[in-house]
Amino acid sequence: MIRLLFTVCAFASPAFAQTQQEQDRFDELVSLYQAATVVGEPTFEPCVLSQGAEANCLKITVVAAPSDHITGPYCPLNISDTAEAGGTWFVDGEVRDVDGDFIARLSEIYQNDAWQMFDPETGDIFVRNNEIGCIVAGDPTNSTGQPDNICVDCSLGFIGKTVTRTYFIPLTPVASEGDVGDVRGGVGLALNGVKVEGPAPLELILGGITIGPFDDCGGHINPSEGYHYHGILEGCGARAAAVTEGHAARLGVAMDGHDLYDQLDLDTSEPADLDACRGHEVEGLGYHYHVSATATNQILPCLTAQTGCSLESADANCDASLQSREQGGPPPREN
Ligand SMILES: [Zn+2]
Ligand SMILES: [Zn+2]
C-alpha cells in the first residue's frame, strides 16, 4: 500500500513527469540491481547533470560492497607467502599477483632501492591493516604521517560503519557538449552494487613508496567509497546476458546512463568500432561501452554523455554541475 501511494504521488508531480521510455528504463534498472544490496526503495528523482542539463534519474542507494563475491585478501604477511595470501597489483598493463615474492622484489620491479617493504631478517612484510589500514587507504597523500614502505590493507569490518553510496543515474542520456566527460568521479555502478571507479592514483601511491593492493577481483576499499573496482575481471560479479546473440555480457551502468559491458564479445574478440570512450552503437542494445582490459587502470577513458551523481549521503540531491564547480575541478583523488 505504501508503495502504491508513493507511485501515485510521483506521477502526480510535474517535476517527475517522465516518458514511457524512462519508465521502462527505470523498471529495467531496478530489476537489474536486484543483484545488489539495495537500501530502501529506488526512486525517480529530478537531477541536474554535469553540464547543467535537467533530467530524470534513477536514485538508488546500495551497500558499497559486492553482494556476490568475497573481498580481499590484499597484503601477504611474509615474503614466503603464496598468492592465496595476497591480492593483485597493476604493473605495466599486467595483473600481477601480490604474493610474498612480489613484495620481496619491489625494488627490482620498480628499479628503485628505496623499496624495502619487509624485515630482511624475518621476511615479515610491513602491513598497515585494521583501523589504521583504512585511515591510510582514505589518505593517499599520507598526511597521517605513516612511514613509506607499507602495504595498505583496509577491510570492510575496520571502517567502523556500513558504507553506502547513493547514485543518480540519468534515465535518458544527454550528450556532452564539447569535451567528453571525465571519469574521475567514477565510471559507473556494477550490478552487484560495487562502484566502478576511475583510475587509482598509482603515481601518487608509488611515489610514496606504498602499494594498496587490489584483491583478485580488481577491487579494494577505502572509508568513503567502500569497496570499488579499478579493473574488471569477467569472473567477478553479476552479469546480465546481452539480448544480442554473441555480444559481451552487461556488468553495470555508466554514470551517464549508458550501459557497461565486458571487454570482449563471446567469441573473445573486442568490437572493432569502439570510439575514443570505448562506446559503440549496436542494433537492439543502443549505444553502450565495453570496459578496458583489466590492468590498464582505466576502466573507461571517458564518457560521452553528461554524468549524474555518486554521493556519500543518501539524503542529498544531485546537481552534478554544482558539484564540479564547487570543488573547482575534478573530485578529490582517492586511494
Ligand atoms: Zn557492444
Ligand atoms: Zn581505489
Residue 87 has pLDDT above 70, yes or no: yes
Q: What is the pLDDT, as a whole number, of residue 145?
A: 81
pLDDT digit string, tens, across residues 192-204: 999 999 999 998 8
Q: Which three cell numbers stand for residue 257?
A: 546512463
Mean pLDDT of 6-33: 75
Q: What is the pLDDT, as a whole number, of residue 324?
A: 58
Rounded to the nearest angstrom, the distance between the alpha carbon of 271 and the centre of ligand 1 is: 6
Phi, psi for 91 (deg, rounded to 5): -125, 120
d(CA 94, CA 296): 8
Rounded to the nearest angstrom, the distance between the alpha carbon of 42 and the centre of ligand 2 is: 26
pLDDT band at residue 182 under the 50/70/90 scheme:
confident
Residue 98 has pLDDT above 50, yes or no: yes
Note every long-range contact of 20-24, with CB atoms under 8 Å and residues 24 or more positions apart, other chains counting.
21/172, 22/56, 22/171, 22/172
Residue 118 has pLDDT above 80, yes or no: yes
Rounded to the nearest angstrom, the distance between the alpha carbon of 245 and the centre of ligand 1 is: 11
Rounded to the nearest angstrom, the distance between the alpha carbon of 230 and the centre of ligand 2 is: 6
The one-letter code for the residue type at 110 is Y
pLDDT band at residue 160 under the 50/70/90 scheme:
confident
d(CA 303, CA 253): 12
Q: What is the pLDDT, as a whole number, of residue 287?
A: 98
Mean pLDDT of 119-123: 98
Ligand nearest to the CA of 263: 1
Mean pLDDT of 291-315: 96
Contact indicator for 288, 258 with CB cutoff of 8 Å: yes
Rounded to the nearest angstrom, the distance between the alpha carbon of 179 and the centre of ligand 1 is: 23
Contact indicator for 58, 309 with CB cutoff of 8 Å: no
Phi, psi for 63 (deg, rounded to 5): -70, 130
Ligand nearest to the CA of 272: 1
Rounded to the nearest angstrom, the distance between the alpha carbon of 285 and the centre of ligand 1 is: 8
Q: Which three cell numbers stand for residue 183?
A: 571519469
Which residues sit with Cβ closer than 5 angstroms to ligand 1, an ion? 282
Contact indicator for 218, 233 with CB cutoff of 8 Å: yes
